Amino acid sequence: MNKSFQRVRNLTPAQAIVAYYFVAIAFSFLLLRLPGVLQPGVSMTYIDTLFTAVSAVSVTGLTVIDVSQTLSVFGIIVLMVILQFGGIGIMSIGTFFWILLGKRIGLRERQLIMVDHNQSSMAGVVKLITEIVKILLLIEAIGALILTVYFTQYFYSFGEALLHGVFGSVTATTNGGFDITGASLQPYVDDYFVQIVNMLLIILGAIGFPVLIELKEFLSNETKNFRFSLFTKITTSIFGMLLVVGTIGILILESVNAFKGMSWHQTFFGALFHSVSSRSGGLVTIDITQFSDATNVFMSALMFIGASPSSAGGGIRTTTFAIAILFLINFARGKNTIQIFNREIELIDVFRSFAVLFLAGTMVIVATMLLIITEPNASIVEILFEITSAFGTCGMSLGLTGDLSSVGKVIVMILMFIGRVGLISFLFTIGGKTDPTKFHYPKERVIIG
Amino acid sequence: MNKSFQRVRNLTPAQAIVAYYFVAIAFSFLLLRLPGVLQPGVSMTYIDTLFTAVSAVSVTGLTVIDVSQTLSVFGIIVLMVILQFGGIGIMSIGTFFWILLGKRIGLRERQLIMVDHNQSSMAGVVKLITEIVKILLLIEAIGALILTVYFTQYFYSFGEALLHGVFGSVTATTNGGFDITGASLQPYVDDYFVQIVNMLLIILGAIGFPVLIELKEFLSNETKNFRFSLFTKITTSIFGMLLVVGTIGILILESVNAFKGMSWHQTFFGALFHSVSSRSGGLVTIDITQFSDATNVFMSALMFIGASPSSAGGGIRTTTFAIAILFLINFARGKNTIQIFNREIELIDVFRSFAVLFLAGTMVIVATMLLIITEPNASIVEILFEITSAFGTCGMSLGLTGDLSSVGKVIVMILMFIGRVGLISFLFTIGGKTDPTKFHYPKERVIIG
Ligand SMILES: [K+]
Ligand SMILES: [K+]
- Is the separation of the CB atoms in B234 and B320 below 8 Å? no
* Option in B316, B379, B447 nearest A104 (CB): B447
Over residues B224-244, mean pLDDT: 87
- Is the separation of the CB atoms in A211 and A217 below 8 Å? no
Question: What is the least distance, in Å, from the CA of B320 to any CA of chain A?
Answer: 5
**Cβ neighbours for B195, distance < 8 A, ≥ 6 positions apart:** B185, B188, B269, B273, B285
Confidence of residue B10 (pLDDT cuts 50, 70, 90): low
Give a yes or no: residue B437 inside a domain. no
Averaged over successive runs of 10 residues, the pLDDT of chain A (449 residues) comes to 53 70 90 92 92 94 91 93 86 68 45 40 69 85 95 91 94 92 90 94 90 82 76 90 95 89 91 94 92 92 91 90 87 76 80 86 91 90 95 93 92 92 64 48 60
Helix (H) or strand (E) holding A185: none
Ligand showing the shortest atom-to-Cα distance for residue A173? 1
Question: Rounded to the nearest whole angstrom, what is the distance from the C-alpha of residue B445 to the centroid of ligand 1?
Answer: 28
- Across the strands, what pairs with A339? A344
Q: Do B230 and A373 touch (CB under 8 A)?
A: no
**Cβ neighbours for A426, distance < 8 A, ≥ 6 positions apart:** A14, A418
Q: Do A431 and B333 touch (CB under 8 A)?
A: yes
Say how far apart CA A109 and CA A98 lie, in whole Å: 10
Which chain B positions have a beta carbon within 8 Å of A350's beta carbon?
351
Question: Rounded to the nearest whole angstrom, what is the distance from the C-alpha of residue A271 to the centroid of ligand 1?
Answer: 18
Question: Rounded to the nearest whole angstrom, what is the distance from the C-alpha of residue B275 to the centroid of ligand 2?
Answer: 13
Instruction: List the single range of A124-128, A268-272, B343-347, B423-427 with lowest mean pLDDT.
Output: B423-427
* Option in B343, B436, B447 nearest A310 (CB): B447
Ligand showing the shortest atom-to-Cα distance for residue B392? 2
**Cβ neighbours for A189, distance < 8 A, ≥ 6 positions apart:** A266, A270, A285, A286
Question: What is the least distance, in Å, from the CA of A67 to any CA of chain B?
Answer: 31
Structurally, chain A folds into a number of domains equal to: 1
The C-alpha torsion from A126 through A131 and A133 to A135, rounded to 10°, is -170
Say how far apart CA A232 and CA A242 lie, in whole Å: 15
Question: Rounded to the nearest whole angstrom, what is the distance from the C-alpha of residue B294 to the centroid of ligand 2?
Answer: 22
Which chain A positions have a beta carbon within 8 Å of B442's beta carbon?
343-344
Question: Rounded to the nearest whole angstrom, what is the distance from the C-alpha of residue A411 to the centroid of ligand 2?
Answer: 35
Give a yes or no: residue A99 inside a domain. yes
Q: Which SS3 state, helix, strand or coil, does residue B417 take?
A: helix
For residue B101, the Cα-to-chain-centroid distance in whole angstroms is 23
Q: Which SS3 state, helix, strand or coil, does residue A339 take?
A: strand
Residue B59 CA: distances (Å) to CA of B136, B148, B314, B406, B416: 16, 22, 9, 21, 9
Largest CA distance in chain B: 77
Residue type (1 letter), B112: L
Question: Rounded to the nearest whole angstrom, what is the distance from the C-alpha of residue B370 to the centroid of ligand 2?
Answer: 23
Interior CA angle at B360 toward B350 and B86, to 5°? 100
**Cβ neighbours for B399, distance < 8 A, ≥ 6 positions apart:** B289, B382
> In chain A, which residue's Cα lies nearest the Cα of B316?
A449
Give a yes or no: residue B33 inside a domain. yes
Burial of B317 per CB tally in 10 Å (0-12, 13-18, 19+): buried
Question: Rounded to the nearest whole angstrom, what is the distance from the C-alpha of residue B363 to the centroid of ligand 2?
Answer: 19
Say how far apart CA B337 and CA B352 lie, in whole Å: 15
Which chain A positions have a beta carbon within 8 Å of B358's beta carbon?
324, 328, 354, 357
* Option in A108, A423, A448 nearest B309 (CB): A448
Q: Do B447 and A297 touch (CB under 8 A)?
A: no
Give a yes or no: residue B438 inside a domain. no
**Cβ neighbours for B60, distance < 8 A, ≥ 6 positions apart:** B54, B177, B282, B314, B389, B390, B393, B394, B395, B416, B419, B420
pLDDT at B110: 46
Which chain B positions have a beta carbon within 8 Å of A298's beta carbon?
369
- Across the strands, what pairs with B345? A444
> Which pairing describes strands B443-444 and A343-345: parallel, antiparallel, or unpaired?
parallel
Which chain A positions have a beta carbon within 8 Å of B379's beta carbon?
380
Task: Select the more confidently predicted residue: B208 or B17.
Answer: B208
> In chain B, which residue's Cα lies nearest the Cα of A369?
B294
> In chain A, which residue's Cα lies nearest the Cα of B437?
A335
- Using a pLDDT cut of 70, give the percent of chain B over it: 83
Burial of B182 per CB tally in 10 Å (0-12, 13-18, 19+): exposed
Task: Using the predicted structure, report yes or no on whether residue B445 has a pLDDT greater than 60.
Answer: no
Give a yes or no: residue A448 inside a domain. no
Question: What is the least distance, in Å, from the CA of A17 to any CA of chain B?
Answer: 14
* Option in B253, B333, B445 nearest A106 (CB): B445
Over residues B94-103, mean pLDDT: 60
pLDDT at A9: 54
Question: Rounded to the nearest whole angstrom, what is the distance from the C-alpha of residue B130 to the centroid of ligand 2?
Answer: 24
> In chain B, which residue's Cα lies nearest the Cα of A354?
B354
Instruction: List the single range of B125-134, B260-269, B316-325 with lowest mean pLDDT.
Output: B125-134
Is the Cα torsion angle A24, A30, A34, A37 positive or negative in sign?
Answer: positive
Question: What is the least distance, in Å, from the CA of B432 to any CA of chain A?
Answer: 6
Which chain A positions have a beta carbon within 8 Å of B380's beta carbon?
293, 297, 379-381
Q: Do A372 and B292 touch (CB under 8 A)?
A: yes
Question: Which letter does DSSP use for residue A223 in this model?
Answer: S
Over residues B252-261, mean pLDDT: 88
Burial of A376 per CB tally in 10 Å (0-12, 13-18, 19+): exposed
Q: Do B105 and A445 touch (CB under 8 A)?
A: yes
Give a yes or no: residue B442 inside a domain. no
pLDDT at A106: 41
Give a yes or no: residue B160 inside a domain. yes
> In chain A, which residue's Cα lies nearest the Cα of B208?
A447
Question: What is the least distance, in Å, from the CA of B284 to any CA of chain A?
Answer: 22
Q: Do B441 and A355 touch (CB under 8 A)?
A: no
Residue A395: which region, alpha, beta or left (left: phi > 0; alpha: psi -120 to 50)? left
Helices and strands (H and E) in chain B: how many? 19, 3
Question: Rounded to the nearest whole angstrom, what is the distance from the C-alpha of residue B135 to the centroid of ligand 2?
Answer: 21
**Cβ neighbours for A80, distance < 8 A, ≥ 6 positions apart:** A166, A167, A170, A171
Give a yes or no: residue A437 inside a domain. no
Q: Do A334 and B435 touch (CB under 8 A)?
A: yes
Q: By residue range, what is the domain housing residue A338? A: 3-431
Over residues B72-88, mean pLDDT: 91
